[in-house]
Structure 1
Amino acid sequence: MLEPLRQGLPPLDPAAVSDAASCALPARYEAVGDARRFTRGTLDQWDLSDRFDDVCLVVSELVTNALRHALPANTPRLPGQEPPVRLHLMRWTERLVCAVRDPSEESPVTRETDDFSAESGRGLFLVDSFSDGWGWHPMAGGLGGKVVWALFRLQRAGECPHSAD
């Protein structure tokens, strides 16, 4: 269900981006709350508040995974160094993409579990369940790390949520 993980974003015309916003997140777990607040404010500005619950859950999981798995506890943090995790939100007419960049070059790993009461280990399962698609890719050029993204389809203005095509 969750494979293949390594895939690029679906074809999206960069020139057609309606809106984009990003924020740097420090290497501490309080950054998950910062990411949720940033997402709430951005979706409010873009008049997408109705998508907040699903998008916020996915953003929380992606940022938590980046902080937990991409930044080992013993990684040195230098004063003045750019925060290692960045959240990007990009909106096209019919799509919203949430992307989290982190410094690790390790691929995301899904855990097979039947224990749905477990408090951890289900992050990518939740991302898969609440988004319309997701994947990851290594950073290009001289930049190290990777980007893990999730895609949400948006309704066209005036479109009924349950209309038959």
Structure 2
Amino acid sequence: MSTGTALAVDPLVVTCTLAPRFEAVRTARDFARTALQRWCLMELFDDVALVASELVTNALRHAVGARPDPSGGAPGEYDFPTQPSPEGRLPIRISLVHRAPQVVCAVSDPSSTGPVAREADFVAESGRGLHLVESFSRSWGWHPLGSGKVVWAVFEAEPAGASRLDGHALDGLGGRVEIGGRHRRSA
């Protein structure tokens, strides 16, 4: 089972270290559900869970498990490291940050290679993950770390009583607030 360690110094910034196994995707979704419930933002769960799943899957496939299983396992199985890095960290971490009116989902991994969106191929079984991340978040991007990188996605958490209106939200007092468009940044 893929269990994570949640850190809670600031209740609006939570982090979970994920074991490098495919069960980590389910752990990331469960972690997102717990954080969003605590913040009373369950309306974001479907989008955040989908994006967290895609980012963790990408980290497992491209950053941690890039080598096929040498034991000749089934297609799609990977040889994941099971020991912490020399710094004592397992290779993948997911963080959620709530700074009203936004929630940021960030996944860090040990690879310094940035994510690359492939041309959409609707027949292929994979390769659409970053297109989903772009579609379900307000914006996304990535930044290199000292060792590795972090891939992040931003979600709008509308204030209670706000409603969307043509790219704007009503602020609860009848005023219109512009909701920014999507953009991608890389280092």
User: What TM-score, normalized to structure 1?
Assistant: 0.80
Distance across 2 between alignment mates of 1:55 and 1:30 = 17
> How many Å apart are 1:153 and its aligned residue?
1.1
Q: Provide structure 2 residue ranges, at least 5 long, that are not aligned to the other structure.
A: 1-9, 68-78, 171-175, 177-187
Calculate the aligned-residue CA RMSD, in Å.
2.0
* CA pair 116-52 structure 1, distance change in 2 beyond 3 A: same
Instruction: Return the index of the structure with the highest Cα Rg.
Output: 2
2: CA distance between counterparts of 1:160 and 1:77? 46
Distance in 2 (alpha carbons) for counterparts of 1:76 and 1:68? 12
Letter in 2 for 1:134: W
Q: Is the partner of 2:56 in helix, strand or coil?
A: helix
Residue number in structure 1 paired with 2:29: 36
Structure 1 residue 78 and structure 2 residue 71: aligned?
no
Compute the displacement of 1:18 (Å). Answer: 7.0
* 1:146 pairs with 2:149: yes
Q: Which residue of 2 aligns with 1:63?
A: 56
- Relative to structure 1, the CA distance from residue 78 to residue 124 in structure 2 (aligned partners, 3 Å threshold; closer, same or farther) is same
Q: Please point out which of 112, 129, 136 is paired with 1:130.
A: 136
| CA–CA separation in structure 2 for the residues paired with 1:133 and 1:79 | 31
Asked if residue 96 in structure 1 is aligned to residue 99 in structure 2, the reply is no
Greater mean deviation of Cα atoms: 18-27 or 130-139? 18-27
Q: In structure 1, which of residues 143, 156, 161 is the aligned counterpart of residue 159 of structure 2?
A: 156
Q: Which has the higher contact order (CA 8 A, sep 6+)?
A: 1
Unaligned runs of 5+ in 1: 1-16
Aligned 8 A contact 1:97 1:151 in 2: yes
CA–CA distance in structure 2, aligned partners of residues 45 and 79 of structure 1: 29
Sequence identity percentage: 51
